[in-house]
Amino acid sequence: MARPLSLCFLLHVVFFWVLLRAALSSARPHTQEEPLYLKFVSNATDFPMEDYYDYIIIGGGTAGCPLAATLSQSYRVLVLERGGIGYGNPNLMSQEGFIRTLMEVDTFHSPAQAFTSEEGVPSARGRVLGGSSAINAGFYSRADTYFFHNSGVEWDLRAVNTSYAWIEKAVVFRPKLRSWQSIVRDGLLEAGVNPSNGFTFDHMVGTKIGGSTFDKFGRRHTSADLLSYAKPSNIRVGVHASVERVLLASTSANPGQKISAIGVVYRDQVGRYHHAMVRDHGEVILSAGAIGSPQLLLLSGVGPRPYLSYWGIPVARHLPYVGQFLYDNPRNGISIVPPMPLEHSLIQVVGITESGAYIEAASNVIPFASPARAVFLHTPSSLLNVTVATLMGKIAGPLSRGSLRLASTDVRINPIVRFNYFSNPADLERCISGTRTIGEVLRSHSLDYFKFRDWYGNREFRYVGPPLPADLSNNAQMAEHCRQTVTTIWHYHGGCVVGKVVDKEFRVLGVNALRIVDGSTLNISPGTNPQATLMMLGRYVGLKMRKERSGPK
């Protein structure tokens, strides 16, 4: 006869089941609700061949999305984005996919579009809804006061701060520091990058923890999420919509009269052409970034007359500085293999020095291909995952400037860019200073834990790539190190700068109903990382445009 189960046994079973359910629940990936903005995002193939809008925004990127959301509260808005939708792409939406996104590229379709400067420095630009905010390292920090005093714009700082706050409420989070970021923070303080400013969005000399567009579950949030603030009945977003040119026309028979933007021509995914036209008092707004906006101006006939004529492009407006005053902040640094595995971490901590150098850090698990016949390695896969920890420096400014020119009249083909890194000696001095600070961080006690011990008991780092010069005081060696190891931190800007191509209200000089609202208008990088200020810029300009249009005529 079966014995009855004891009450004690039953309680143990129930307790185990509760624990198991809790463990399974916590192990499940946190699912993210489908964004509200997807309800008004469509493939451009579904759009009419011709339609009319109050505002047409070219580029659904870092600045374009908040601009569109803001304008849609009062007006009918069309956003044309050449890429697709990033939501649901695991590489884009996680920190772990950051490097893979930048490596898995193709000519016409990948979310990151690779290009290489004439100096041979590889870079990338966003080609996805959300723009570069969907492929970057997620760090969020407001601009410094120097930027607001020297960018050529008369900023309303109260409106600036409320615009930043609008962004921060929606897509910015406080990161949780783990080993590498915590150690680098301590090392920066040991190296004299003081004071410790804790967690702050503000730009402050010293060491701080900044904001992140990755939430506590590691999910990325982009400027596309700001489209959820839009008025759905007033906005349409077309993806896979490649704008070929801005349509410009004279509104008067008077030859001295300004030309006006009246619409755009864009091509959908299957190659069909569409026309989007602006209504009375409407505008076309370029938000295609520091590479795309000057390129599109040139293809639309706005630029240096002799250069446009050389390409056979009809000249609509002679503007000699389109594509000029293009800048990229050089990045230099070192990478090490730590003696223990590290978590993925993108930029969370920054050391802001008084010399104009910014020190940041990242750690990534990078797959390396093992030999086809690995005698000593018995692994089920041909890939080895190796942790690489990086310390990098970015300089403020920069002062060195380059230029952009067309490689083709096909808007899908990257233009040719040259940044002329370190052509201004002040940039090289800042690099030397920042690299010395990295050296001091490496010498701090905080980083001893990341050294290997050799057969003789000595402790040293194992570098991936060139180490710093042994003599940090040798200016010639440090300068050569800066030149030889220069790469990009993807903060390129300019090409349509204020005072040269656009006025203080971001209107294109000599052209009615055409503005540029993106990083191409900036003559200086806004603090440590630009995405916060570019998102703010979209919101800020949108509010100003609404106020201007609703005011007295």
pLDDT tens, residue by residue, 107-121: 999 999 999 999 999
Single out the residue of 335, 360, 348, 333 nearest to residue 193, CA to CA: 360
The residue whose two tokens read 């410790």 is 196
369-389 pLDDT, tens digit per residue, is 544 433 333 344 456 678 899
What pLDDT sits at residue 256?
A: 66
| CA distance linking residue 116 with residue 395, whole number of Å | 20
447-492 pLDDT, tens digit per residue, is 999 999 888 888 999 999 999 999 999 999 999 999 999 999 999 9
Q: Rounded to two decimals, what is the model's pTM?
A: 0.91
Q: What number is the average pLDDT over the span 323-340?
A: 96
Q: What number is the average pLDDT over the span 347-361?
A: 97
175-200 pLDDT, tens digit per residue, is 999 999 999 999 999 999 999 999 99
Q: Is 30 a catalytic residue?
A: no
Residue 205 has pLDDT above 70, yes or no: yes
Residue 293 has pLDDT above 90, yes or no: yes
The residue whose two tokens read 């067309």 is 406
What pLDDT sits at residue 258?
A: 87
- The chain-wide mean pLDDT, for the chain, equals 91
Structure tokens at 292: 């795309």
Q: Which residues of 329-355 are buried (b: 16+ CB within 10 A; e: fewer)?
A: bbbbbbbbbbeeebebbbbbbbbbbee
32-89 pLDDT, tens digit per residue, is 678 999 999 999 999 999 999 999 999 999 999 999 999 999 999 999 999 999 999 9
Cβ pair 38, 87 in contact under 8 A: yes
Q: What number is the average pLDDT over the span 280-298?
A: 98
Single out the residue of 543, 214, 526 nearest to residue 396, CA to CA: 526
Residue 354 has pLDDT above 70, yes or no: yes
Which residue in 221, 481, 491, 493 is the catalytic one?
491
What pLDDT sits at residue 502?
A: 98
What pLDDT sits at residue 369?
A: 54
Cβ pair 330, 356 in contact under 8 A: no
Proportion of the chain above pLDDT 90, given as a percent? 84
DSSP secondary structure of 356-425: SEEEEEEEEEEEEEPPTT-SS---SSSEEEEEEEEEEEEESS----EEEE-S-S-TTSPPEEE--TT-SH
What pLDDT sits at residue 20?
A: 34
Residue 141, classified by CB atoms within 10 Å of its CB into exposed (0-12), middle (13-18) or buried (19+), is: buried
DSSP secondary structure of 472-500: TT-HHHHHHHHHHT-EE-S--EESS-BTT
What pLDDT sits at residue 254?
A: 67
30: pLDDT confidence band, cut at 50, 70 and 90? low
What pLDDT sits at residue 57?
A: 98
Omega of the bond leading into 398 within 30 degrees of 0 (cis): yes
**What phi and psi values does residue 299 have, to the nearest 5 degrees?**
-65, -20
268: pLDDT confidence band, cut at 50, 70 and 90? very high
Q: What number is the average pLDDT over the span 155-178?
A: 97
Proportion of the chain above pLDDT 70, given as a percent? 90
What pLDDT sits at residue 373?
A: 37
Omega of the bond leading into 195 within 30 degrees of 0 (cis): yes
522: pLDDT confidence band, cut at 50, 70 and 90? very high
Residue 423 has pLDDT above 90, yes or no: yes
Q: Given CA atoms 370, 372, 376, 377 in this order, what sign does their dihedral have?
A: positive
392: pLDDT confidence band, cut at 50, 70 and 90? very high
400-146-131-200 Cα dihedral, nearest 10 degrees: 130
